[in-house]
Amino acid sequence: MAGSPTARRRRLAIELKKLREENGLTCQQVGQALDWSGSKVNRLETGSGRVQPSDVDALCRFYNTSDDLRDFLKRLAKDSKIRGWWHAHGSAVPPWFSVYIGLEQDVSSLRQYQCEFVPGLMQTAAYAAELHRLTNQLTGDELRSAVDVRMERQSLLTRDDPPDLWAIVHESVLRHVIGDRQVMRAQLEHMLCVSQLKNVTLQVLPFDAGTYPATGAFTILGFPEQEDPDVVYREGMTDAVYLESPDDVGQYTRAYDNLRAIASSPPRSVKMIKAIVEEHSR
């Protein structure tokens, strides 16, 4: 079963929608049969609201599911109410990013392209603090909490059965000095350390790579269960976009494969980062 509350809620929504479609019914038809509104059924299937186990029980009985499936889905509904560890940090984690952290806890793979900043899972505390200080209106306590969350997220890469992270960063990320040269040198050295993990692959997209099929940073999240399709995540200044349709995910997957093909190989990328570290050491 999916581990984080966010992943459980998403899995439940997927299963409820699949049950309705297998029965050849619309949300409106299901709502009428249960004396609900069609919009309520839609909310249950999109995970946009809290799902009560009693609602899941009613739907499963209406769809005439097996007892085992009904118990499984009711357990998902109950467990999806549990708050994740990141909720303890309050306003330091905006709601739109809370969704991402919840999904990130259960991924089996992360394919990430960054063209402005070092990927969050590779950032040092000093680098992360500089980013939060410049881009968010946070109090001192909120800033510390935001950095703590970022550092806690990184334990994902070294836990038992960690996800595979494939990160492609544009060369401009390496040359854009955040903080000062000392902060940046330590950051690049940390990237090199993280890249040595067996589940991490790091590539640099050099300035001379020519044209490439991406207009901004994005992440493709993959999950271990076949029932949980990939999600594309794109982050803005005040919100985020989550794309799940097969067409959207397919387009980003093809773009990522093209980026991977034109980026420098991992060994050449490491060599490039080491050369920039040397520049900051002079």
DSSP string, the chain: ---SHHHHHHHHHHHHHHHHHHTT--HHHHHHHTT--HHHHHHHHHT-S---HHHHHHHHHHHT--HHHHHHHHHHHHHTTSPPGGGGGGGGS-HHHHHHHHHHTT-SEEEEEESSS--GGG--HHHHHHHHHHHS---HHHHHHHHHHHHHHGGGGGSSSPPEEEEEEEHHHHHS-SS-HHHHHHHHHHHHHHHTSTTEEEEEE-GGG---S-SS-EEEEE-SSTTS--EEEEE-SS-EEEE-SHHHHHHHHHHHHHHHHHSPPHHHHHHHHHHHHHHHH-
Q: What is the pTM of this model?
A: 0.80
CATH superfamily of 5-79: lambda repressor-like DNA-binding domains (1.10.260.40)
Tens of pLDDT along the chain (282 residues)? Answer: 445 677 778 888 888 888 999 999 999 999 999 999 989 999 888 877 778 889 999 999 999 998 888 888 888 888 777 777 777 777 777 777 888 888 898 899 999 999 999 999 999 999 999 998 876 677 788 889 889 999 999 999 999 999 999 999 999 999 999 999 999 999 999 999 999 999 999 999 999 988 887 779 999 999 988 878 899 999 887 778 889 899 999 999 999 999 999 999 999 999 999 999 999 887
**Domain edges within the chain:** 5-79, 90-281
* Domain 90-281 falls under CATH 3.90.550: no
